[in-house]
């Protein structure tokens, strides 16, 4: 593509920026979390390049990178709040296991992950 051509797809934009295109696969999961830490893991076996977690419940959550996360030591996620991590800004941190704990039983989280699946 020349410098004055319009991109017709995200794949063309990625190919121009990085030298080649790549394809990602979205995967959604829902979790009911209580007062014990729960691993947020879809077990897809693919390289995760992005994750978005939304607090869809009515309780507070804490997100952390260790199963020892507590409601006072993790990243606080209030009702309606979101947590986002992406390979471009966060490097390999986006692939690390995540854990969540709730301030009360029955809280719900929705997780949308993006996995690298090809070029």
* Cα end-to-end span (Å), the chain: 18
User: What pLDDT score does 2 carry?
Assistant: 58
Q: Which of 33-37, 41-45, 94-98, 106-110 has the lowest mean pLDDT?
A: 41-45
User: Do the domain assignments include residue 5?
Assistant: no
User: Do the domain assignments include residue 16?
Assistant: no
Q: Mean pLDDT, to the nearest integer, of 17-31?
A: 87
User: Do the domain assignments include residue 3?
Assistant: no
User: In three state form, how does the secondary structure of 60-115 look?
Assistant: CEEEECCCCCCCCCCEEECCCCEEEEEHHHHHHHHHCCEEEEECCCCEEEEEEEEE
How many structural domains comprise the chain?
1
Residue 83 domain boundaries = 22-118
Round to whole Å and give the CA distance between 90 and 85. Answer: 6
């Amino acid at each position: 593509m020349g410098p004055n051509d319009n991109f017709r797809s995200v794949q063309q934009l990625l190919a121009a920026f990085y030298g080649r295109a790549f394809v990602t696969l979205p995967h959604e999961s829902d979790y009911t979390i209580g007062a014990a830490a729960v691993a947020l893991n879809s077990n897809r076996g693919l390289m995760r390049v992005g994750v978005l977690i939304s607090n869809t419940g009515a309780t507070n959550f804490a997100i952390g990178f260790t199963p020892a996360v507590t409601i006072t030591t993790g990243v606080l996620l209030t009702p309606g709040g979101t947590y986002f991590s992406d390979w471009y800004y966060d490097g390999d941190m986006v692939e690390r296991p995540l854990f969540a704990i709730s301030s009360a039983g029955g809280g719900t989280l929705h997780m949308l992950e993006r996995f690298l699946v090809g070029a």
